């Protein structure tokens, strides 16, 4: 079973790479590197803050776009090209096929997030080193203790272990979106419908927590609105739970238990969306 | 199972999963809020300030990205010395990223220092009274940024320290400055000089000499590293003012 799933995953990976999806990494690199030169005229606190804002924000955008767009094409394209019939004619179950496709997208998204993270880390480390060097030259006349304190401040602003945790949460959010999009594509009739629905779910997912709290609080809400709020709260994922970047860029650390719970919730979503996708796909007429 | 039955079962599964995850999501939301990792939802007032596109982007989880671009815009406004526009942009940026100390700190600094001086030196305003009043308004605006920043970051020392500096240097409120420095010094991560700054300010407040003396004494007792020239001079000054007996003095009389 593992061999069959990994074979499908490898083919999916190759197909997606052939679509030249990694070109966006060049745009990301240009954005981060270009910005780092532009931001050099700010104070180092501002520079690092905005570099993190822009790089992590771009990582979120690109990973979400990649996850949704790559997943939306998986099933419809195979059905359109009729390759799905060749695959399912072999001793491959529909569940294995679906898992293989998802594994292919997951590995592609993981690789993309890793690449973006690496570009960001290199730029951040380089900028930190440049600022450290220029500060040591400028403040050379200061007493050693004061100079060290100033340099430590720069190191603290530049190096933040929570950035790694933020990258992990971005990855799980992208995986969740990929699983959700594949689930949508199992009952959708076209790629466009899948893509539009997935993006709509993406936007609504960021408001799910607000809808949930209004629904739970009761308050001054009519019955029709209450039903809509309940549906939003129950059907859509809480994507704000995976939006920890805003806090991390301000220097707020992610406590391990919060990181663990967030990742566990992500795993729960992925497992349920995959199971539901498998259930729908099992009875789909091909 | 036929397709319709499957779809009904899947819809039911989705709802059941929704119900099952409700308490988990709520508890996670509370944990994230406690750790200051989840900001409050955006208010509708921000929509007018941000424009539809940026508001939609901020709603979609890109608050920090929108804030960064607006900060760059504010920097351009600074180069054009458009102080009013800067203040508006700073309000928006700090609303989007209320946990960013850099944004609160620099917003306050731009207003209380740069904008205030520009207002005082405004060549188009001949009345010194009006220029002074405009200057003071910017000082107060800078203070307002810091106070709002403190309300959003109650556990971090930096903005308390900055408030102390602003009260000391711009509003001549030495008691307020002493209290702000004292508050900052009591927080985790505050460097030792913040405590000294609080004691220095308290020493200038009429009627609080004994309290200032006690604080300076406790700083002196921390060891030689803390016995800075200003600590010694203020101790000496207060020992004389409070008529401390010679044998209890920290600074010998002959250093006068």
Task: Give me the pLDDT at residue B256, please.
Answer: 45
B75: distance to nearest CA of chain A, Å?
9
pLDDT tens, A56-85? 988 998 899 999 998 998 888 888 888 888
Residues in B closer than 8 angstroms to A272, CB to CB, are: 13, 17
Q: Can you tell me which residue has the tokens 């596109």?
A: B53
Of B31, B97, B106, the CB nearest to A261: B31
B7 shares contact with chain A (CB less than 8 Å): yes
pLDDT score at B254: 54
Query: Quick one: three-class SS letters along B187-199?
Result: CCCCCCHHHHHHH
Euclidean distance between CA atoms A222 and A58, whole angstroms: 39
| B43 close to A (CB below 8 A) | no
Measured between beta carbons, the chain B residues lying within 8 angstroms of A265 are 21, 24-25, 28
* B100 interfacial to chain A (CB closer than 8 Å): yes
- Are A103 and A10 contacting, i.e. CB atoms less than 8 angstroms apart? no
Averaged pLDDT of chain B:
87
Instruction: Look at residue B44 in the predicted model and tell me its pLDDT.
Output: 67
Q: Say how far apart CA A166 and CA A249 lie, in whole Å.
A: 9
The reply to whether residue A247 touches residue B26, judged by beta carbons under 8 angstroms, is: no
CA distances from B43 to A219, B37, B49, B62, B115 (A): 18, 18, 11, 15, 28
Q: Is the CB of B63 less than 8 angstroms away from the CB of A54? A: no
- In the prediction, which pLDDT does A135 show? 86
Residue to substitute from A36, A40, A43, A57, interface B, most B β-carbons within 10 A: A57
Provide the pLDDT confidence category of residue A32 given band limits of 50, 70 and 90. confident
| Contact (CB<8Å) B35/A282 | no
* B233 vs B254, higher pLDDT: B233
> Are A235 and B37 an interchain contact pair (Cβ–Cβ within 8 Å)?
no
Reference B236, options B221, B223, B252, B215; nearest CA is: B252
> What is the DSSP code string of A85-121?
HHHHHSS--HHHHHHHHHHHHHHHHHHHHHHHHHHHH
B2 to chain A: closest CA residue = A283
pLDDT in tens, B12-44: 999 999 999 999 999 999 999 999 888 777 776
The shortest CB-CB distance from A207 to any of B36, B59, B103 is to B59
Give residue B252's pLDDT: 61
B92: closest CA of chain A, how far (Å): 15
How many beta carbons lie within 10 A of that of residue B252, not counting itself?
9
pLDDT at A240 over 80: yes
Q: Please give the pLDDT value at position A39.
A: 74
Residue A36 pLDDT greater than 80, yes or no: no
Q: What is the 3-state secondary structure (H, E, C) of B125-175?
A: CCCHHHHHHHHHHHHHHHHHHHHHHHHHCCCCCHHHHHHHHHHHHCCCCHH
Between residues 154 and 213 of chain B, which touch chain A (CB distance below 8 Å)? Answer: 191
User: Which tens digit of pLDDT belongs to each residue from A91-146?
Assistant: 888 999 999 999 999 999 999 999 999 999 998 898 889 888 988 888 888 777 77
Residue B149 pLDDT > 70: yes
CB-CB: which of A54, A245, A258 is closest to B31?
A258
Q: Render pLDDT for B211-252 as a digit per residue (tens, 0 to 9).
A: 888 888 888 888 887 788 888 888 888 888 877 777 777 766
Which chain A residues are Cβ-neighbours of B59 within 8 angstroms?
A: 203, 206-207
pLDDT tops 70 at residue B114: yes
- What is the pTM (predicted TM-score) of this model? 0.84
CA terminus-to-terminus distance, chain B: 98
The pLDDT of residue B246 is 73
Q: Which residue of A has its CA nearest to B78?
A: A42
Residue of B nearest to A208 (CA): B25
Per-residue pLDDT at B109: 96
Q: What is the pLDDT of residues A144-202, one digit of tens each?
A: 777 888 888 888 877 888 899 999 999 999 999 999 999 999 988 888 999 999 999 99
* B53 interfaces chain A, CB cutoff of 8 Å: no
- B124: which 2 tokens? 């188009």
Asked if the C-beta of B12 comes within 8 angstroms of chain A's C-beta atoms, the answer is no
A242-278, pLDDT tens digit by residue?
999 888 888 888 999 999 999 999 999 999 999 999 9
Q: Give the containing element (helix H, strand E) for A18.
A: helix A2-18
Are B61 and A56 a contacting pair at CB < 8 A?
no
Say if B108 is an interface residue toward chain A (CB within 8 Å): no
Q: Which of A215-224, A257-266, B93-102 has the lowest mean pLDDT?
A: A215-224
Tell me the nearest-neighbour CA distance from A145 into chain B, angstroms.
Answer: 11
């Amino acid at each position: 079973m593992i061999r069959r799933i990994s074979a499908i995953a490898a083919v999916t990976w190759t197909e997606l790479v052939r679509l030249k999806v990694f070109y966006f990494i060049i745009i990301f690199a240009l954005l981060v590197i270009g910005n780092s030169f532009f931001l050099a005229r700010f104070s180092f606190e501002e520079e690092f803050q905005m570099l993190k804002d822009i790089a992590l924000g771009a990582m979120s955008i690109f990973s979400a776009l990649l996850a949704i767009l790559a997943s939306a094409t998986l099933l419809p394209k195979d059905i359109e090209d009729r390759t799905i019939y060749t695959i399912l004619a072999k001793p491959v179950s529909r569940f294995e096929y679906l898992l293989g496709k998802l594994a292919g997208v997951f590995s592609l998204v993981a690789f993309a997030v890793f690449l973006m993270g690496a570009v960001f880390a290199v730029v951040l480390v380089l900028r930190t080193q440049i600022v450290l060097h220029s500060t040591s030259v400028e403040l050379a006349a200061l007493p050693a203790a004061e100079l060290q304190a100033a340099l430590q401040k720069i190191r603290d602003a530049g190096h933040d272990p929570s950035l790694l945790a933020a990258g992990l949460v971005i990855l799980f959010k992208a995986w969740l979106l990929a699983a959700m999009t594949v689930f949508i594509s199992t009952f959708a009739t076209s790629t466009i419908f899948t893509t539009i629905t997935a993006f709509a779910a993406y936007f609504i997912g960021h408001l799910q927590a607000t809808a949930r709290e209004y629904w739970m609080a009761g308050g001054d809400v009519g019955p029709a609105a209450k039903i809509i709020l309940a549906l939003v709260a129950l059907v859509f994922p809480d994507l704000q739970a995976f939006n920890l970047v805003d806090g991390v860029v301000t220097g707020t650390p992610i406590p391990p238990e919060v990181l663990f719970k967030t990742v566990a919730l992500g795993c729960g979503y992925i497992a349920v969306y995959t199971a539901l996708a498998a259930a729908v796909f099992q009875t789909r007429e091909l | 199972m036929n397709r319709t039955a499957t779809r009904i079962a899947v819809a039911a599964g989705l709802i059941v999963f929704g119900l099952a995850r409700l308490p988990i999501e709520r508890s996670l939301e509370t944990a994230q809020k406690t750790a200051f990792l989840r900001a409050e939802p955006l208010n509708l007032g921000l929509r007018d300030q941000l424009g539809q596109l940026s508001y939609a982007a901020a709603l979609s989880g890109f608050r920090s990205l929108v804030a960064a671009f607006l900060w760059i815009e504010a920097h351009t406004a600074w180069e054009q010395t458009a102080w009013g526009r800067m203040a508006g942009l700073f309000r928006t940026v700090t609303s989007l990223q209320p946990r960013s100390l850099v944004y609160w700190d620099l917003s306050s600094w731009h207003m209380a220092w740069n904008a205030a001086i520009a207002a005082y030196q405004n060549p188009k305003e001949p009345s010194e009274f009006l220029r002074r009043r405009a200057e003071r308004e910017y000082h107060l605006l800078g203070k307002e940024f810091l106070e709002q920043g403190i309300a959003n970051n109650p556990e971090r020392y930096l903005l308390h320290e900055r408030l102390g500096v602003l009260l000391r240097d711009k509003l001549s409120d030495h008691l307020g400055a002493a209290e702000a420095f004292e508050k900052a010094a009591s927080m985790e991560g505050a460097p030792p000089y913040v405590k000294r700054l609080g004691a220095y300010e308290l020493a200038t407040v009429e009627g609080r000499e004994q309290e200032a003396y006690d604080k300076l004494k406790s700083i002196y007792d921390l060891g030689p590293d803390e016995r800075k020239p200003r600590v010694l001079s203020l101790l000496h000054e207060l020992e004389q003012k409070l008529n401390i007996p010679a044998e209890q003095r920290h600074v010998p009389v002959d250093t006068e």
